Amino acid sequence: MRHGAHRLRAGVVAAVVLCAPAAARAQMSLQLQADPPEPAAGQPFRVVYTVALRGAADVHAQPLQVPRGLDVLMNPPPPQAPQMIGAGAFFTFRSSVTYVLRAARPGRYVIPGPRAVGNDGHVVVQGPPLTVNVTRTGGTSAQARQAPRDPFDDPFPNLLDPMEPPQPAQAPQRPTGPDVPPEGVLTGVTASAEGFVRVVTDLATPWVGQQVEYRAFVYVPAGEAGCEPLREATLDGFWSESLVEARQQCAARWLPQRVGSWDMTAGMVRRIALFPTHAGRLEIGSLKMGVEYIEGDGFFGRRHRVEMEAPRLVLEAREPPLEGRPPGYVPGTLGPIALRAEIDRAELPVGETATLRVHAQGNGYLGSVTLPAPRAVDGVRVLPGSSHAETDRSVAPLRSEVVNEYRIVADRAGRFTLPALRVPWFDPGTGRYAVGEVVLPVIVATGALRPPEDSEGPDLATQLAPLVREVPLASSPAFFTTALRVWGVLGAVPLAVLGAFAGTALRRALRVRRAAKESTARNDPQSLLAQADAALAGGDGVAALGLAARALERASRASGTSSEAKVAEARAACDGLRFAGAAVASDDVAAAVRAVRAVVEGRS
């Protein structure tokens, strides 16, 4: 009953939308799917290339690009979207073709994401790449049993019930592969209904140098999402190798997951191989991502952007045990290690150089370990040369090959056997040590050492002068150890010159001042009259009269006065002019001063 009402409502909505004018927009997706997901080497497998188009668009899907190492057994033309002008936006058209491929050797193959181009030749849609793990025996995945849906069975899957996708007839089988989140208790996560990031490692207590696989998954309540890394996880104390493409920011595949009561999808965003470089507590920093997804239907849904942060992870790296450790063991050398040695020429003239290459194959950390060098024997010198390492990321766990070069120089003729090269390593599986060994090639040196062409005399360029026999035993004199001493000594002369200038100027100023003071200190009538003359010459008549009055007064105080009348007359003249103020004429002032002088000089 309820199902019937649902259908009725969906039909009404579809009819309304069909009557409405079609919007000029389209949604297209390209998808690749391997069947089975983990095929066996040498066995054919299918890759289904699906194009889904909602709306109308004039685009063309491009042919599949098959990577090297995969044989194409069936190569159909790429699927094409139907050209339907005015098609409704709710119709989804799907078209798919099936390629049949075969891998000769096991490994990890990445088929680039399919692309569709528009009329102008530009890429308008690009799907995610497909990673196929080809094993030796083939995986027993559930998806292998789930045949890809034939598009001709239901060419219009959303026509009758566009609002609600049809439920699968049977429960989906659990997928497998490295990008599938582990089952069980949800660890390494702060769960949220809006989405979260989950980080997991496959080992909690690895040995130093042992590979730990770090994976980060984004869980969202939508079919897929876009990611933007905000902060990558810090990996202090680890040697790291990324196992996904460097340009991949988000998940290549989204898988349905049920977290409690939430229906979500999860996609792997990071996969890194980590190798602890030392023992102890090692921390993997938190990963922060901005994730954007559409909640609900892809057409009517609402766009959400959530910032997710994964918690930090702590690993406890262990040092291989001291018990039973062979001499010369370098921490981090984990086995098994395969050794091989080759020399470019086993027979060489004395004094010339042959190159010995030692190849070591081991785990992914081997490139960071210093391997022991071959030991020299009497008559043969072994000089270290270059070294390089390559890591093979197509296998799990990673494998590295280190090639160390050594220069072999024979100092005399003869047949020399270098001691076998022994490399101790630790097996994490058994917890025991073992020693890898490689027999080095025999070297035959012929001829005699050729003397240098220019050995006529001693090499002057390398001649050392003899020791000093008469050594004065004293410490190194170092006075100028501070900036104050340096600049103090350098500034002494300028400061002295400045001081001399300042002293001279000061002395001169004091002398002038003293002379002026002495000249004005005298207060006898003659001096006062002289000052009055000076004031009169300067045009200051009032001051001249004042000084003349003071001279007259001092003269009158003196004993032996003869003419009181003359004194009174001169005083009256001076006072009269002084009371007249500034308006007095200079000639009158001069006359008054002359009268005073006559009185003063007449008495003296």
Pairing assessment for the beta strands 442-446 and 347-349 based on DSSP bridges: parallel
Least spacing, CB of residue 168 vs other proteins, in Å: 50
Kindly state whether residue 322 participates in binding other proteins, applying the rule CB under 8 A. no
- Grouping H, G, I as helix, E, B as strand and the rest as coil, residue 344 is coil
Helical H segments across 104-226, by residue range = 142-145
- Quick note: the x/- pattern for other proteins over 374-413, rule CB under 8 A, is ---------xxxx--------------------x------
Tell me if 497 contacts other proteins by CB under 8 A: yes
Output 49 or 365, the one with its CB closest to other proteins.
365
Task: Please name which of 208, 248, 222 lies closest in space to residue 110, comparing C-alpha atoms.
Answer: 248
Structure tokens at 223: 């079919």
- In whole angstroms, the minimum distance from the beta carbon of 270 to other proteins comes to 21
State phi, psi for 82 to the nearest 5 degrees.
-70, 145
Query: What angle (nearest 5°) sits at the alpha carbon of residue 230, between those of residues 225 and 235?
Result: 115
User: Following CA atoms 582, 584, 590, 596 in sequence, which dihedral angle do they give, to the nearest 10 degrees?
Assistant: -90
- Candidate list 16, 493, 565, 583; residue touching other proteins; CB under 8 A: 493
Q: Which residue blocks in 431-585 are alpha helix, DSSP H?
A: 483-490, 492-521, 525-537, 541-557, 564-580
- Tell me how far, at minimum, the Cβ of 38 lies from other proteins, in Å: 35
- How far is Cα 342 from Cα 406, in angstroms, rounded to an integer? 11
501 binds other proteins (CB under 8 A): no
Stretch 208-247: interaction string toward other proteins, x if CB under 8 A: ----------------------------x--x--------
CB 425 within 8 A of CB 337: yes
Q: Nearest distance from residue 279's CB to other proteins, in Å? A: 9
Tokens of 431: 């917890």
| Contact criterion met (CB below 8 Å) for 302 and 295 | yes
State the minimum distance, in angstroms, from the CB of residue 431 to other proteins.
22
Smallest separation, CB 504 to other proteins (Å) = 13
For other proteins, the binding residue among 368, 394, 526, 556 (CB under 8 A) is: 368
User: With respect to other proteins, which residue has the nearer C-beta, 230 or 330?
Assistant: 330
Nearer to other proteins, 189 or 350 (CB): 350
Measured from the CB atom, the residue of 105 and 278 that comes closer to other proteins is 278
Our CB check for other proteins shows the closer of 83 and 370 to be 370
Mention every residue, 6+ apart, whose C-beta is less than 8 A from residue 227.
218, 249, 250, 251, 269, 289, 290, 291, 292
Judged by beta carbon, residue 21 or residue 477, the one nearer other proteins is: 477
Cβ 234 to other proteins shortest distance, Å: 12
Amino acid at 195: G
Residue partners of 136: CB distance under 8 A and separation at least 6: 40, 41, 106
Least distance in Å: CB of 352 to other proteins? 12
| Six token digits for residue 3 | 């199902």
d(CA 349, CA 444): 8
Under the binding rule (CB under 8 A), the answer on residue 494 touching other proteins is: yes
Region 335-354 residues binding other proteins, contact defined as CB under 8 A: 353
Q: Is 277 in the site for other proteins (CB under 8 A)?
A: yes
Query: Minimum distance from CB of 156 to other proteins (Å)?
Result: 59
Touching other proteins, residues 447-476 (CB under 8 A)? 461-469, 471-476
Q: Are 577 and 552 in contact (CB under 8 A)?
A: no
Binding residues for other proteins, rule: CB under 8 A, are 236, 239, 277-278, 353, 368, 383-386, 407, 461-469, 471-477, 479-480, 483, 486, 489-490, 492-494, 497
